[in-house]
Structure 1
Amino acid sequence: MRYILVEYAHAQDDDPVRVYSEVDREDLETRRVEFYDNGLWFAYGEEHGGDEALSKAPFPADVRALNVPGEVTARTIPASVFREVWDQAAERPDGFMGMFF
Structure 2
Amino acid sequence: MRYIMLEYTEPQEDEAQRVYSELDRENRETRRVELYPGGLWFAYGDEHGREEALNPTPFPDDIRELNVPGQVTARTIAPGIFREVWDQAAERPDGFMGMFF
Q: Same fold (TM over 0.5)?
A: yes
The residue type paired with residue 24 of structure 2 is D
- TM-score, normalising length: structure 2: 0.96
Larger displacement relative to structure 2 (41-50 or 91-100): 91-100
CA contact (8 A) 1:40 1:98 kept: no
DSSP-derived class of the 1:5 partner: strand
Aligned to 1:7: 7
1:18 is matched with 18
Instruction: Tell me the equivalent position of 1:37.
Output: 37
Unaligned runs of 5+ in 2: none
Offset at residue 99 of structure 1 (A): 2.4
Residue 60 of structure 1 aligns with an amino acid whose one-letter code is P
**Identity in percent:** 71
Q: Structure 1: how far apart are the matches of 2:24 and 2:11?
A: 26
Question: Aligned to 1:89, what secondary structure does the other structure show?
Answer: helix
Number of equivalences = 101
Cα distance between partner residues in 2 of 1:56 and 1:41: 21
Which ranges of structure 1 fall in alignment gaps of 5 or more residues?
none
In structure 1, what residue type is equivalent to 2:52? E
Structure 2 match to 1:83: 83
Which residue does 2:65 correspond to in 1? Answer: 65
- Contact kept? 1:4, 1:75, Cα under 8 Å: yes
Dislocated runs of 4+, deviation >6 Å: none
Q: Is the 8 A contact 1:6 1:73 kept in 2?
A: yes
Given the two structures, how large is their TM-score scaled by the length of structure 1? 0.96
